Amino acid sequence: GEDVEQSLFLSVREGDSSVINCTYTDSSSTYLYWYKQEPGAGLQLLTYIFSNMDMKQDQRLTVLLNKKDKHLSLRIADTQTGDSAIYFCAESITGRRALTFGSGTRLQVQP
């Protein structure tokens, strides 16, 4: 079955790196995603990784995928106060376009 889990909260200081972790259970996941949600707003896609990749880098964002352990992480370098938000991990399964989301990790960036 599909299940995506994340830790609830992460607090970092401005300028530090943030690492948000996610585990998933379905081995037939084809794509894994990171979405960002700011207060009162919808979800915004940050980045995604295809399941046959180990790593993807996009400016300050680095996504690492360990398919054996079904573990996904998002690293944000030089974290800024504007990065404070809830980050959702999501997976899509072969043949389905709808995403299954985790419960979200609230990132708090302290000045």
Partner 1 sequence: EAGVAQSPRYKIIEKRQSVAFWCNPISGHATLYWYQQILGQGPKLLIQFQNNGVVDDSQLPKDRFSAERLKGVDSTLKIQPAKLEDSAVYLCASSLGNTGELFFGEGSRLTVL
Q: Is 1 a residue that touches partner 1 (CB under 8 A)?
A: no
The answer to the question of residue 103 lying near partner 1 (CB under 8 A) is yes
Q: In sequence order, which residues have a C-beta less than 8 Å from that of residue 75 and are 6 or more positions away? A: 17, 18, 19, 20, 61, 62, 63, 64
Calpha distance 85→34 (Å, rounded): 12
Smallest distance, Å, CB 41 to partner 1? Answer: 6
Minimal distance, residue 82 CB to partner 1, in Å = 18
- Please give the residues from 58 up to 97 whose contact with partner 1 meets the rule CB under 8 A: 88, 90, 92, 96-97
- Of the residues 1, 39, 40, 111, which one makes contact with partner 1 according to CB under 8 A: 40
Q: Among residues 48, 45, 51, which one has the least CA distance to residue 30? A: 51
Instruction: Please report whether residue 45 would count as binding partner 1 according to CB under 8 A.
Output: yes
Which pair of structure tokens corresponds to residue 54? Answer: 């180990």
Candidate list 1, 39, 42, 111; residue touching partner 1; CB under 8 A: 42
3-class secondary structure, 7: coil
